[in-house]
Every structure is written in C-alpha cells, then in structure tokens.
Amino acid sequence: MVDAPGVMESGILTGQGVVIIGGTTGLGLSAARACVREGAGVVVVGRNPENVQKAVAGLDELAPGRAAGFAGDAVSSETSLEAIARCVEKFGSLGGLYHVAGGSGRSFGDGPLHEVTDEGIDATLDLNLKSLIRSNRAAVSQFLDQGTPGSVLNMGSVLGWSPSPKYFTTHVYAAAKSAIVGFSKSVAARYAADDIRVNVIAPALVETPMAKRAAGDEVIQSFIKTKQPLDGGRIGRPEDLDDLAVYLLSRRSRFVTAQVIAVDGGWTVSEGQI
C-alpha cells in the first residue's frame, strides 16, 4: 500500500477503481482526493487539459500511481467509455462511477421560463442530463460485463424539488436535476438484482466555480445565512459532500440504492428571508 501523508493504508475503497466525470475542479476534485485517501485508484475527467494535469499531479502527491485523467467533453458518449476503459486498464476493474459534471445554463439562455431560449434548453439538458445518462449507461454496461457489484453516484441539486424563485431561477436546470432523480431511481430498480446500486447526492449552494455569481453577491449570502442555517449559516464547501460520496461508492453502502440524499445545510426545511 502507498505510504503517503493522509492516505489510508486500508481505506474503505482499497482496491477499487473509481471514475469521476467532472473530477478536475470543485466538488469532483474534492471527492477524488477523498477517494484516493481511502485507497481507491481514480480516473478524473474534465474539459480543460490544464485542469486535468493539475488534478492528476495533486492526486499523485497524495498517493503516487493511483490517479489518471484526461480531457474530454462529458456530453460525448466516447468520454465516459474512454474513462472507464482507462480505469479498467490501470486498476483492473471499475468499482464506481461518480458523475459530477454539470452546471448552470444561464450563460446559454436558461432562466425564468418566459425568457428561456432554445439554445438554453438544449445546452442545459446536454450538460446536466444527457451527459449523465451516457456515463451511467457506460458504467452499468461495464458492471454487467464484469459480472461484479458496482456503484453509480449521480450529482443532483435541491433545486430539483425545492425551488428558490427570487435568487435561483433557472428552470431548465431545475428540470434536469429533477429528471436525474427519476432516472436514477428507475435504473436502480432495474439493476438491483445485479447488485448495481444507483444513488443521488443533492447539494444546495456550495462554493464551486459554478457558484461564483451567488458567492460574490452580499444579498444572496445574507439569504443563504438563513436558508442554509446549519453550522452558523453558510455556503457549503466541497468537502461537506466527500464522506457521503466515499460511503456511497464503497461496499459499506451495499444495502443502499435509489436514495436521494440532500447535503444542504437545512435548505429544504428552511424558509430563508427575502
């Protein structure tokens, strides 16, 4: 086992190959670090080659030889297929897929429904829903080919069922995140007998590159203090999701499937202040 600072000698993901689509920044990179600390071999995928290089270099510092990555568009079917192939080649098999890739379609034309453009609809659904369906298809197919148990973990959002009409109105994004819940539960039901599990993590506002607009707005931050009242009332941090992600990717959650777990600081049970 690799002897590196902060790395478990026999973590709960030891011997497991994990692919993280969208694993080079933000939530995905934080999860990748947590996975290698728990013994996994990780393949990270992102669109920006420079971010991929930095991510792999940082993971190698934690656990030499237990990380790989490449640049690819999550919307392309070939990207997830290539990521899984690299995982199998380097680490022997695929044990888990974590699909983090996604983002706001605001810049493409998502927003309040009466202002949504055709480009906004297509780009937002491609980025947040179609890419996820394609990566899940590739992972489930690999698990079936291997004849092994496997875990698929999908990134949702509390906006899929708990809207905030004043500050977070991107209706196509909400539709995509809601669809991820139905899709994941349906897939989980079909493949439970194959010991393939599918779960969803649904965060509220977390400090990531996607959240720059909200994180830099004092009015929204004041709203978040009461909308996400846990831990003093704050925006979430990527590491708030890591322990749950590791658990759901590991065999410790072998009796857990079709679950949607909000990591939201209390968002879904708080009114907030407008």
Residue 208: predicted pLDDT? 79
Query: 50 lies in a domain?
Result: yes
- Which CATH number does the domain housing residue 82 bear? 3.40.50.720
Query: 66 lies in a domain?
Result: yes
Query: 3 lies in a domain?
Result: no
By CB neighbour count within 10 A (0-12 exposed, 13-18 middle, 19+ buried), where does 24 fall? buried
Indicate the number of domains in the chain.
Answer: 1
The closest of 10, 94, 71, 33 to 242, measured between CA atoms, is 33
C-alpha 3/C-alpha 9 separation (Å) is 7
Query: 5 lies in a domain?
Result: no
- Per residue of the chain (274 residues), give pLDDT as tens: 333 445 555 799 999 999 999 999 999 999 999 999 999 999 999 999 999 999 999 999 999 999 999 999 999 999 999 999 999 999 999 999 999 999 999 999 999 999 999 999 999 999 999 999 999 999 999 999 999 999 999 999 999 999 999 999 999 999 999 999 999 999 999 999 999 999 999 999 999 776 677 777 889 999 999 999 999 999 999 999 999 999 999 999 999 999 999 999 999 999 988 6
pTM assigned to the model: 0.95
C-alpha 17/C-alpha 43 separation (Å) is 8
- Phi-psi label, residue 26: left if phi above 0, alpha if psi -120 to 50, beta otherwise: left
Domain extent, residue 56, equals 17-269
Query: 7 lies in a domain?
Result: no
Residue 7: predicted pLDDT? 59
